Amino acid sequence: MHANLPKLFQPIDLGPVRLSNRIVMTPLTRSRADADDAPHDLHVEYYRQRASAGIIVAEASQVSPQGKGYIATPGIHSELQVERWRKVTDAVHAAGGRMFLQLWHVGRISHPDLQPDGELPVAPSAVRPQAQAFTADGFKDIPTPRPLEAGELAGIVEDYRRAAENAKRAGFDGVEIHSANGYLLDQFLRDKTNRREDAYGGSIENRMRFPLQVVDAVVDVFGAARVGIRISPVSPANDIADSDPEPLFGAYVRALSERGLVYLHVIEGATRGPRSVEGQFDPATLKADFAGLYMGNNGYDRALAVAAVEEGRADLVAFGRPFISNPDLVERLKLQAPLAAFDETTFYGGGEKGYTDYPRLAEGQRAARA
Ligand SMILES: Cc1cc2nc3c(=O)[nH]c(=O)nc-3n(C[C@H](O)[C@H](O)[C@H](O)COP(=O)(O)O)c2cc1C
């Protein structure tokens, strides 16, 4: 039966984890956690509905209270959060799905309103982002962050290690390290945000030091075969930039490859925007530097995804917004059925509306196309 199906719909092994297809649900922040920054019954239902993805990478979850930058995002640092995530992973596994968790520290993309004791957000250097934070009182300008002291970095690495241990106890099949979209690890990598003059700044090797220490700690917990990483080398998300991203990301990806990470998740182009950025290199070329699986993302549709996998340009293709409004995205793509449009006004915050109430294809529509 598989013979006529495009490879996109055929199983693949992600390290020790067998996926029933090569379609990934990307991490999607939905800002619906409770007052304890814990997921709850709605999250169980939302992820269970989407369990037919080859694998779900659950929404970015802060590794510590300091790592938080938006209201109502879930954490993976407290016992309650571990217990609640366990209900989510149990439901996804019971439905035949697989699930990783995205580990997150926002660095400077935060606001004192969201930080413990109203402190300033932290970053490699005191470089203020041209960006706003969404707080309980609406959007607010982000202040200049407090530069981290070198002596504090080991503590943040430990936060990641504990978060990975928690994710394991919560039943995740593995974790994805969030090194994309201008958050803390990306801030260390890039010379626009990293102006340090110590061992963590300056040369490419120095700028990679802290992110790689995080990677090593997480790999210690899960083993490299259950750790993936996400990068967005040419995306301007959250006011990030580098004067020369191609050699930087080439070196980074080779270092990640040496560590045996199971997948490299690449946002190709500007996150949620054009698939190529003028004057920038094509990050899909980084596939050649990575020994593990290559996961492509950003603006894929069925034709692009089928071709990318068929032609060997990607091993896995990750869909974001289409999964918001199509819980049965895999089936719809398989049947070449129309996709439901997403409603951006319900992306962040709120309850069931725009979260768990997008319908599956009706029985009649399925039968007509099968
Ligand atoms: C509502 C929303 C929330 C997102 N949250 C995250 C997140 O938590 N972590 C992350 O790495 N990317 C996040 N992204 C980016 C998506 O994972 C993805 O890269 C982007 O939507 C492009 O893929 P698409 O064209 O298939 O939607 C988010 C995007 C949207 C629309």
For residue 1, is it within any domain?
no
Q: What CATH number corresponds to the domain at position 191?
A: 3.20.20.70
The pLDDT-based confidence of 367 (bands split at 50, 70, 90) is confident
Share of the chain above pLDDT 70, in %: 99
* pLDDT at residue 1 is higher than 80: no
The pocket around ligand 1, CB under 6 angstroms, is made up of: 26-29, 59-60, 102, 178, 180-181, 230, 267, 271-272, 297-300, 319-322, 347
Question: pLDDT, tens digit, for every residue of 220-278?
Answer: 999 999 999 999 999 999 999 999 999 999 999 999 999 999 999 999 999 999 999 99
The pLDDT-based confidence of 365 (bands split at 50, 70, 90) is confident
> Ligand 1 pocket test: which of 24, 25, 29 has the largest number of ligand atoms within 8 Å of its C-beta?
29
Angle at 234 between CA 230 and CA 236, to 5 degrees: 95
Does an H or E element contain 263, and which?
strand 263-267
Ligand 1 center from residue 355 Cα (angstroms): 15
Ligand 1 center from residue 181 Cα (angstroms): 10
> Ligand 1 pocket test: which of 24, 26, 302, 304 has the largest number of ligand atoms within 8 Å of its C-beta?
26
Of the chain, the end-to-end C-alpha distance in Å amounts to: 13
User: Which residue's CA is the nearest one to ligand 1's atom 10?
Assistant: 27
All residues at 6 or more sequence positions from 258 whose CB lies less than 8 Å from its CB, including other chains: none
How high is the pLDDT of residue 364?
78
Q: How far is CA 80 from CA 88, 133, 269, in A?
A: 13, 26, 37
- Among the residues of the chain, which ranges form H helices? 41-49, 79-94, 153-169, 184-189, 204-222, 245-258, 302-310, 321-325, 329-335, 363-369
> Ligand 1 pocket test: which of 272, 298, 346, 355 has the largest number of ligand atoms within 8 Å of its C-beta?
272
Q: Which tokens is 247 given?
A: 């050699």
Domain count, the chain: 1
For residue 2, is it within any domain?
no
Bridge partners for 61 per DSSP: 103
Distance, in Å, from the CA atom of 68 to the CA atom of 62, rounded to the nearest integer, reads 6
Ligand 1 center from residue 5 Cα (angstroms): 28
For residue 93, is it within any domain?
yes
pTM over 0.95: yes
For residue 332, is it within any domain?
yes
Give the position of tokens 């692009």: 304
The pLDDT-based confidence of 2 (bands split at 50, 70, 90) is low
Domain hosting 302: range is 7-369
For residue 310, is it within any domain?
yes
Which residues participate in catalysis according to the annotation?
Answer: 183
User: Which residue's CA is the nearest one to ligand 1's atom 24?
Assistant: 320
